[in-house]
A and B are shown apart, each in its own frame.
Chain A
Amino acid sequence: MSRPVSHGGIIILVSFAVAFILTMLPVPDNLEVYRPEWITLVLIYWCMALPHRAGIFTGWTVGFLLDIHTGSLLGLHAMTLSIIAYLSYKLHIRIRLYPLLQQSLIILLLVTLSQIIVLWINGITGHAPNDWSYWLPSLTSMLVWPWLFYLMRAIRRLYGVN
């Protein structure tokens, strides 16, 4: 994960911390279902932009902490985000070349996939939400992606993270 020339690791950490805070930030109940999957988005961005820095292990660690926070089955998000990290690592050269719209669609696909995995495991072990609004985060994640992408790229270039 780390290379001798790489620097700016603190920026990656901070970006994940901000993603966590955005995930925890209390919002009114009826808005809660629209919350984008910030952590997944940030993870995909780093896997795509700096595949030599962020990867499956990053996905696992972040997912593990998310499990601790949400009180879900320990390893549920860890596994899901590992898979997402793996896929975005595999696809990163392709995603980079796509126009933003197409990127957003890939994001929709990836976030939906992560939600399917979470739903699947929740369904096996306990109570899965039986509600269409469960899928809203993938849509909002897709809509948020272009802005997040530009913001993250600007931050990455500003601080020279590589």
Chain B
Amino acid sequence: MSADHRTHMLSGVRSLFSLVIYPLQTIASIPTDMGLWLDVQFNSHQSLITENETRRTENLLLKAQLQKFTSLQAENIRLRSLLKSSRKLSDQMLIAETIAVDLDPYKRQIVINKGQRNSVYSGQPILDAYGIMGQVIHPGIPSSTAILITDPSHAIPVQINRNGLRTVLYGTGAANYLEVQNLPNNADIELGDLLITSGLGGRFPEGYPVAVVTNIMRDPGQPFAKITAEASAHLEQSREVLLVMAQENAPQLLSDQEQDETQEISQQKGLPVLSPREESSTHRESSTLKEATAHE
């Protein structure tokens, strides 16, 4: 047990024996799969047509937005190359399905049907269509176990979308609820603020929505405000999830950035630094751009 707790030596054993568990998990998920299948089978023709129609319009809208996105992305790359700053721009995705099985009721974990044979690795971020869901913790061979952001032992570095204030979001163990534990009472955070990944841990890609602030309790007697947030991702409902594939040099990058991040967090615990990072960088970009054009 201590070997598993202190080191990662047993992860190979774990992934090997997941081969034994996988058939059982598949059988256990049959009732749910059957339910879904029946649901589809008995869906009326009409409702399928309507659904198809809505999907088609949605697809059209999304494609139109994507056109703009491509040009924006190109522009962003150009500006960043002027700044000589690099950022991971595109994330490759792999679609996985959750296997409908229950794990420990006091943890928030899911099983997905992709494993090491699909080059899933430990720490790989998982998203759904609405935001960050969690990360892989035990990559097995045919399937993997992933921890959700709401698990009580999970924390994710985030920033407020509105002003770039960075903090850490902790899971609570309750479905969909998260907590910000280390922002002081006077921190600039409001109800309805969107928290997005800051990318500081080096584990989650930057800029994905994580949660929306739902409640702020500022007790003057307490050093920190009690802030709860609701996860943007449909953690308990999503059947299809997206696995973000990182670049090849990810593990090396990870360890470096992880160290940075732990320092960052320890600094933040005492006194959160207000830094509108995004805004300042865009300012810099525009000024450099002016200079660049002036040079020409």
Contacts and interface: CB of A to CB of B under 8 A. Distances in A.
Interface string A1-38: 00000000000000001001101111101001101000
A79 B2 CA distance: 12
A69 B25 CA distance: 8
The residue among B101, B106, B153 with the most chain A CB atoms within 10 A of its own CB is: B106
A102 interface: no
A69 B27 contact: no
A65 interface: yes
Interface residues of A, number: 31
B4 A65 contact: no
The residue among A20, A65, A68, A76 with the most chain B CB atoms within 10 A of its own CB is: A68
A121 B24 CA distance: 26
Contacts, number: 86
Given A25-B102, A126-B153, A134-B106, A74 B1 contact: yes
Contact of A129 (B13, B100, B106): B106
Contact of B24 (A17, A35, A71, A131): A17
B29 interface: yes
A73 B137 CA distance: 12
Interface in A55-70: 64-65, 68-70
A26 B101 contact: yes
- Taking chain A's interface residues, is the majority helix, strand, or loop, or is none over half, making it mixed? helix
Interface string A103-147: 000000000000000000100011101010010000000000000
Contacts of B20: 65, 68
Chain B, interface size: which category? 35 or more
A60 B10 CA distance: 16
Given A69-B103, A70-B104, A21 B17 contact: no
B93 interface: no
Given A21-B27, A33-B105, A127-B173, A65 B14 contact: no
A127 B155 CA distance: 13
B17 A68 contact: yes
Q: Which A-B residue pairs are the 5 nearest by beta carbons?
A: A24-B28, A129-B106, A74-B4, A75-B1, A24-B101
Interface of A: 17, 20-21, 23-27, 29, 32-33, 35, 64-65, 68-76, 79, 121, 125-127, 129, 131, 134
Interface of B: 1, 3-5, 10, 13-14, 17-18, 20-21, 24-25, 27-29, 31-32, 100-107, 109, 137-138, 145, 147, 152-153, 173, 175, 236
26 contacts: A20-B21, A21-B24, A21-B27, A21-B28, A23-B102, A24-B24, A24-B101, A26-B31, A27-B102, A32-B102, A33-B105, A35-B102, A35-B105, A68-B18, A68-B21, A69-B101, A72-B104, A73-B5, A74-B10, A74-B14, A79-B1, A125-B5, A127-B152, A127-B153, A127-B173, A129-B106
